[in-house]
Amino acid sequence: MSNTVGRSIFHPTLLCPSVAEYQSKVNSSGILANNLFKAASVNQGPAQTQNFLLSTKFRGNKLCVRKRKLAMGRHGRVAVIPHAVLTTDPTSQLSGKFNLDGDIELQVGVSSIGPGPITKIDIQVSYNSDSLILHWGVLRDMQAKWVLPSRRPDGTEVYKNRALRTPFLKSGSGSILKIEIDDPAAQAIEFLILDEAKNKCFYSNQRFKNNGENFRIKLPVKEKSVNEASVPEDLVQIQAYLRWERKGKQMYTPEQEKEEYEAARKELLDEVARGISVHDLRARLTDKTSSTEVKEPSVSQIKTIPDELVQIQAFIRWEKAGKPNYSPDEQLREFEEARKELLAELEKGTSIDEIQKKITKGEIQTKVAKQLKTKKYFRVERIQRKRRDLMQLIDRNVAKDVIQQDIAAPKPAAPKTLTALERYAKEREEQNKGLVLNKKIYKLGDNDLMVLVTKDAGKTKVHLATNFKNPVTLHWALSKTTPGEWLAPHPSILPPGSVASQESADTQFETGPSDPSYQVQCLDIEVEDDTFKGMPFVLLSGEKWIKNNGSNFYIEFDGGRKQIRKDNADAKGTAKLLLDKIAEIEDEAQKSFMHRFNIAADLIDQAKEAGQMGFAGMLVWMRFMATRQLIWNKNYNVKPREISKAQDRLTDLLQNVYISYPQHRELVRMIMSTVGRGGEGDVGQRIRDEILVIQRANDCKGGMMEEWHQKLHNNTSPDDVIICQALIDYINSDFDIGVYWKTLNDNGITKERLLSYDRAIHSEPNFRRDQKEGLLRDLGNYMRTLKAVHSGADLESAISNCLGYRSEGQGFMVGVQINPVPGLPSGFQELLQFVMDHIEVKDVELLLEGLLEARQELRPLLDKPQDRLKDILFLDISLDSTVRTVVERGYEQLDNAGPEKIMYFISMVLENLALSSDDNEDLIYCLKGWNLALSMCKNKDNHWALYSKAILDRTRLALTNKALWYQQLLQPSAEYLGSLLGVDRWAVEIFTEEIIRAGSAASLSSLLNRLDPVLRKTANLGSWQVISPVETVGYVEVVDELLAVQNKSYEQPTILIAKSVKGEEEIPDGAVAVLTPDMPDVLSHVSVRARNSKVCFATCFDPNILANLQANKGKLLRVKPTSADVVYSVVEEGELVNANATQLQEDGSVPPLNLVRKQFSGRYAISSEEFTSEMVGAKSRNISYLKGKVPSWIGIPTSVAIPFGVFEYVLSDKGNQEVADKVKVLKMSLAAGDSSALKEIRETVLQLKAPPQLVEELKTQMKNSGMPWPGDEGEQRWEQAWKAIKKVWGSKWNERAYFSTRKVKLDHDNLAMAVLVQEVINADYAFVIHTTNPSSGDSSEIYAEVVKGLGETLVGAYPGRALSFISKKNDLNSPQVLGYPSKPIGLFIRRSIIFRSDSNGEDLEGYAGAGLYDSVPMDEEEKVVIDYSSDPLIVDGSFRQKILSSIARAGSAIEELYGSPQDIEGVITDGNLFVVQTRPQM
């Protein structure tokens, strides 16, 4: 690790409180810091805490003088080594034997240990009680006032700052206690004996009392010689520190440290040998009044100011200067200036005590430079964001799934042998006929408890079973609201033998089935009342209460939720082997965070082998942990530094994955955000150390703070961050306990959870008002320590770790030195300072700019491997997290904001999302689009709102795709692993949803929803786009996808509210309207089908209108659309009868449709001059007809065709007999209703072999027409072409086409398929024209849509909208744009051949078969993410006008040629227009 701990003689863990206090008073900003440090003697074992007294403390913004409360003794120092013992020392000399009240005997033994000053005191009482305590103190100089030792026996508490109270230990029928004291100045111990529970004090029947009240035992006084003399280790530490200062604060090696330490000890021993007492040494070394004049010139001063006062004065100067950020040199200067001011007072004759009082009252004259009095001098009001090429941010790393079976792994083991309880649970579940509502298996040590909740015949049934050997009793109740509620069950539902009480019942488990192999106890409970939501319970076995990790068990009935799924039992879409391994070792992981993080580190290699799904599984596991779905600690004590070290190991490995596997970076970031940073050595240990100092410094050692202290020592967790924040909020709210609980509950910590810890927190905080300032300061600093370990996404600690710090004298992280991350950009520190200066500023726009600029500055470093990469990563994660929280904070200021400001916020949040995402090309182009939209808005461009609406729609699509990626990648692992680990069902069901909500995508979606109505209003778009304006009446039905119901037949007229419509679906029978929030193209297949079928079809942009429509589910509505709006109302049943009669009349006017079977003409291929109705379909004939008849500037591609009948003839060829037989069988299955045969037929057709004559004729016709012959490029190219031809033939059996022909009762066997062969024109744009506006039916205007690349994205089911426009036929050079494109994908292809379907079932009168069958290019199209911000069709108005008007003129010319409305497809390449097909507009 490069985060090193500075080594020197003055390391704070080797300093006594006085030195550490002296050293830690001033932090890096020149202000007084709290004293969070650990004091431990060098030669002692485990470090023990020391107490000390500060006469003054700086708390918050004012100086508080702590009043000394002297009761039974003045405060002083005694070195005490506490040990509670089980037996008294037989060598002890009996110093007193007393008879107490009630014939109780007290014996006190005193003895010396060796030649040193240690005195042992053994106390025995012939009285046995759990509440017996010793109330005691130590006397010096036989004065009446007690000295309170700071090191005490285990369990000792301070009583009102006047005495110590130590519990006795039971020993047989009596109680014992042992204390050891090594202070030569201690002359006696005084004490009382109390039974706290009985509030009783034991008195002696003799007069051996001090003033008739206290017991006093004299301690032996030893003659001290030089050889026997010793000095307390804390004084040796001070002397060593002073020597280090005198020598210029050098950096020592460990050997030099030891030498210096022993030299300091020798100096003090020499002074003791000269007759100076330890008391006088202490007074001199700790700046107290000394009774002995010390001649050593390096430390004695005639006139000195205590450093603690200088520090306070320096802090006051800093506050008056406006709390600037001083450099280290400026800090030293300010410190010396403060000293000069106080020395000036001293020279006037003012005493130290008077100076202290004047500081308290603010009466010391202070001169501060004017330039320091305002913060603005030290901060920039707004950063200047650098201009960057957003293209440099594109990350095209896409993970490829690793199929689990391909991973090298041992063969699957034999099925696991089920335990008796598992077999019993499985059989009960299989026997149950009702709905399974919940199922849990609890691990209880070596035993298990199964709880199964079912619903049958209106009753909720709870089945419990356990494999405990001893009898078990269920102590239970019912709950209607919260898990903490206990309501007594009604006597009627109590199982036989139950015993009821006021709020609960006790029921004993019964022996299970007669089969002895089960060895289970079981119990069934039936609850008829549906108002009960769950059952709280505990178990009783013998005299032992059994709980769920310290809390009550609680099982939800939850009949309103979905039935428990098989939870992805086959683990499809997961790294199953890895998840099985995780489940296998979860019991071990539950012991502590140290165990879990080390296990996770061990599994990283297996995750790498499993690829994307492996890291998805790791994320799910870590997320379950972070959201408290898994046990954090189970009866295992672990030191914080051990947790921190395990975190460090795991995050180091994740750092390596981030560099070596860039395709997994987004998942790695998400995993790291659940883990926390960690860190070796001192970082984690400070969690233990600093809580002790907080307690001691603020006099809060009992109650809740002591319980929390015990929890922190036992096993710290991320909950401690929340608890600390709750305490801070509680204090800030003027001690409102409701605020404390609100902070806890808002962050998922309930009273039950506090009680569930191994070291439970029972009490509420209860502080005094005089503790407020000190606790706020110290808990604020402690929060930084907690976050440094537990919160990887904490901004302040992440900044500190990257910029580096050396905290020799700060309350936070004392003694830790972290070097700056190398290679940070110039000015980066100032940028982060700007961020921190604005972190709470109300106007969040400035802060967002700073956060994003910081992320952009870090971006290049994230691609470079280095040892400290994880520190950069955690900083970037924290900046990302802060953006999200800041945006949510800024919603209020957007309430009355104009569109420009909302758009700017959208661009910033989108930038943040792109910086955190893999495969972010679409997001980057959306961002470029928003930047263009902002520019158009500022420049008052007439199209700004219309263009912004297109970018908004595209951004929504991008968010939808991202959510779908999360769902497909994470949810299967969440379901499978959740079922293995017994995770709450609700947590599994919303797993992906919560992942999305936690990211920038949720904030971005919220901002888009704010802007959408503004844009629609500005662009006059309204709330609807009407695609097929048909008035109708029907019953409302709500469906998720139109695709899911396209083959359904509704028995009554139905208005479908479909959440998803892609564009290629069929309209189901019985549907009279389809209303959707989705945005299929107006010229997509489903849009054409709706118009042809006279079905109302419209897109609703207003979620409120849509929600109202959905709320009418089951009701009869009349829907009346216009060209731009839809009006709807509830109607009576009679109106439906009239509407049906009208519909029947209209339907009756349509003549029946017939197809004539086509025969093989003997020709395998024909030229365009031979296109006739007997040979080819209308598509081929129309393209041939256009040649030579349209204006010369309209290009017509060269074409040949494979005529009708060729497919059937090839199928009957002897070489294809086996294929023909299989197709015949499959067609019989299809006729019998097996629709799965459709796919099999298509696959079978691909097995056809090409007759040589077909190959030869097609080659001849293509070459004669000037088209390239694929076979000239090799046999493989011909095979590609032949496969494409067979795909066109096979599309006769597409599901959509097959069911469509059945609806109109067309004979499917008579459907013949010709193949139109054309050279692919590599298009810049593709278009579709309807020469009569399909939405309004207006024949005076042309409607057209344009896409980038090939036209398949327009006519196929590709999401997003095309550019749409209308043009009046009397003004074709003035096209009017209706909408800009939002399709993210364009299709492009190399020079190739396309084979187009051309059936005899297309363009029949009354039936539109166009678009039902496939057109297949020989080569696969390349999907390209489109950047519209640089597309001339978008940004160049004159270019756009030229292209759109040429499309309109082409449509007008072709309509004039045919004399009827036309549906035309074409392309634009290099500014030239080509028409590839035309058909009558339906």
Residues acting as catalytic residues? 1085
Distance, CA of 277 to CA of 401 (rounded, Å): 77
- Between CA 50 and CA 52, with CA 51 as vertex, the angle to 5 degrees is 125
Q: Which two tokens stand for residue 732?
A: 């800030």
Cα–Cα nearest to 796, from 784, 806, 786, 804: 784
Q: Which two tokens stand for residue 1060?
A: 């998803």
Q: What is the residue whose two structure tokens read 């005691």? A: 136
Specify whether the CB–CB gap between 1320 and 1344 falls below 8 A.
Answer: no
Specify whether the CB–CB gap between 995 and 966 falls below 8 A.
Answer: yes
Specify whether the CB–CB gap between 1402 and 1410 falls below 8 A.
Answer: yes
Q: How far is CA 757 from CA 199, 422, 596, 639, 700, in A?
A: 31, 29, 17, 15, 21
Specify whether the CB–CB gap between 1238 and 1298 falls below 8 A.
Answer: yes
Distance, CA of 1473 to CA of 1468 (rounded, Å): 5
Cα–Cα nearest to 638, from 675, 687, 679: 687
| Residue 1239, CB-side half-sphere exposure with 13 Å CA sphere | 3
* Buried/exposed 58-89: b ≥16 CB within 10 Å, e otherwise: bbeeebbeeeeeeebbebbbbbbbbebbeebe
Task: Region of 32 please: left (phi>0), alpha (psi -120 to 50) or beta.
Answer: beta
Q: Which two tokens stand for residue 1473?
A: 């227009």
Amino acid identity of residue 335, one-letter, is: F
Q: Where are the alpha helices (DSSP H) in 897-989?
A: 899-915, 921-938, 944-981, 985-989
Specify whether the CB–CB gap between 695 and 710 falls below 8 A.
Answer: no
Distance, CA of 808 to CA of 42 (rounded, Å): 19
Residue 834 belongs to what H/E stretch? helix 828-837
Specify whether the CB–CB gap between 468 and 447 falls below 8 A.
Answer: yes
Specify whether the CB–CB gap between 728 and 776 falls below 8 A.
Answer: yes
Report strand pairing: 1199-1202 vs 435-444.
Answer: unpaired
Q: Which two tokens stand for residue 1190?
A: 């349209």
Specify whether the CB–CB gap between 999 and 888 falls below 8 A.
Answer: no
CB-neighbour burial class of residue 269 (10 A; exposed 0-12, middle 13-18, buried 19+):
middle
Distance, CA of 926 to CA of 666 (rounded, Å): 19
Largest CA distance in the chain: 136
Eight-state DSSP code of residue 49? -
- How far is C-alpha 1326 from the geometric centre of its chain's CA atoms? 42
Distance, CA of 1328 to CA of 1084 (rounded, Å): 10
Q: State the Cα torsion 744-750-755-761 to the nearest 10°.
A: 20
Specify whether the CB–CB gap between 1324 and 1348 falls below 8 A.
Answer: yes
Q: State the Cα torsion 263-265-271-277 to the nearest 10°.
A: 170
Distance, CA of 1423 to CA of 58 (rounded, Å): 66
